[in-house]
Chain A
Amino acid sequence: GAGVSQSPSNKVTEKGKDVELRCDPISGHTALYWYRQSLGQGLEFLIYFQGNSAPDKSGLPSDRFSAERTGGSVSTLTIQRTQQEDSAVYLCASSFTGQARPGANVLTFGAGSRLTVL
């Protein structure tokens, strides 16, 4: 698609329930990132997928968080047994990594999924 698409845009759930957040990156982008942004705060790195390499999961805050990327395209972030502190905006971003200057590959962000855990 033309941009990074995330769904749902808003999700309200009860404490203890599982949620799935979806990200559809820009076609052809091999890198995909998930970040979490709490109200008024900066972006907290969660996980990074690059092509067929093993994902960098170093930012996942607990084993309740997991993510997968199927077929090198769509990604799903799953939060099990949600807690109130999981309430945040979850941002997905993708980038192309084929340029001669790899550091210049700009991330394009989706609009985010706002999660509220009651």
Chain B
Amino acid sequence: AQKITQTQPGMFVQEKEAVTLDCTYDTSDPSYGLFWYKQPSSGEMIFLIYQGSYDQQNATEGRYSLNFQKARKSANLVISASQLGDSAMYFCAMRGGKAAGNKLTFGGGTRVLVKP
């Protein structure tokens, strides 16, 4: 079975600083995908970034980058130059291959509050 763990329930970050959100995973599938979603207080789920298990380079999308360490089974999200609008819940998720039924499994989330 696949499992996603986010060990930081909440954290504060100063505006304009970088923040790293931890995510570790466990799967027996050799092929899988890792996703990060943002959920602001409005409740919508916003896709941020994707990393494939066979990707050679870490994914980047604007101020978001994914620190993918395959041997450690970690996929930490780095948000650079934090903005007040970054305050939200952040969820790490994994989609395994056929063995996992291709379903997307989410971690418990990390709440980020950006301080001015």
A interface vs B, CB < 8 Å? 31, 33, 35, 41-43, 45, 48, 50, 56, 58-59, 89, 91, 93, 97, 101-109, 111-112
Contacts and interface: CB of A to CB of B under 8 A. Distances in A.
Given A48-B101, A50-B102, A103-B33, A111 B43 contact: yes
B104 interface: yes
Contacts, number: 59
B103 A48 contact: yes
Interface of B: 31-33, 35, 43-45, 47, 50, 52-53, 91, 93, 95, 97, 101-109
A50 B44 CA distance: 23
A45 B91 contact: no
B43 A103 contact: no
Contact of A42 (B95, B102, B107): B107
A89 to B, nearest CB: 7
Counting from the closest, the 8 A-B pairs by CB-CB distance are: A103-B33, A109-B45, A42-B108, A43-B106, A56-B101, A48-B103, A42-B109, A106-B47
Contact of B47 (A35, A41, A56, A107): A107
5 contacts: A35-B106, A42-B107, A45-B104, A56-B103, A58-B101
